[in-house]
């Protein structure tokens, strides 16, 4: 369900807004927020609720791994987009689960007219790292419906 009003979205966003994602702000168009759900070092799997304001999206990026790795997105509130390079963007709504294989170039974020949250699950693997790439162009993003 598209949600423009922040007060309504906050009620839907059951895992919480968290703090402004300033550490990775350079890799986002717009503002995002991060609420870690596990503590690195205490759990072998890192989970965080990531919230995007309307129009916010991350840059194209790749979760690299020699083996294993990748990411899962569990959509929890609002509406967003996910796109792999060379493929059509897919609509994300609460209940959508996206499996992102390691070494696949992609981006994800909110629709221009909705707040959006997903739980990001970093899949353990060997020699994992993230490579941040170029921003999703306004021309590509604005043409999504």
**Gyration radius of the chain over CA positions:** 14
Does residue 20 lie within any of the structural domains? Answer: yes
pTM assigned to the model: 0.94
User: Mind listing the pLDDT tens digit for each residue in 64-91?
Assistant: 999 999 999 999 999 999 999 999 999 9
Rounded Cα distance between 134 and 113, Å, is 23
Does residue 86 lie within any of the structural domains? Answer: yes
Q: What is the CATH number of the domain that holds 15?
A: 2.60.120.10
Q: Residue 9 above 90 pLDDT?
A: yes
Does residue 22 lie within any of the structural domains? Answer: yes
**44-58 mean pLDDT:** 96
């Amino acid at each position: 369900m598209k949600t423009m009003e922040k007060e309504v979205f906050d009620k839907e966003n059951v895992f919480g807004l968290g703090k402004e994602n300033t550490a990775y702000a350079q890799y986002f168009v717009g503002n995002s927020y991060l609420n870690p759900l596990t503590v690195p070092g205490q759990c072998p799997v890192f989970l965080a609720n990531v919230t995007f304001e309307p129009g916010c999206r991350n840059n194209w990026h790749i979760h690299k791994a020699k083996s294993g790795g990748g990411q899962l997105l569990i959509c929890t509130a609002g509406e967003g987009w996910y796109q792999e390079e060379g493929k059509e963007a897919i609509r994300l709504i609460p209940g959508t689960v996206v499996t992102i294989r390691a070494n696949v170039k992609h981006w994800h974020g909110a629709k221009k007219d909705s707040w959006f949250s997903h739980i990001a699950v970093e899949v353990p693997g060997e020699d994992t790292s993230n490579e941040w790439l170029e921003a999703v162009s306004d021309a590509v993003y604005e043409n999504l419906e």
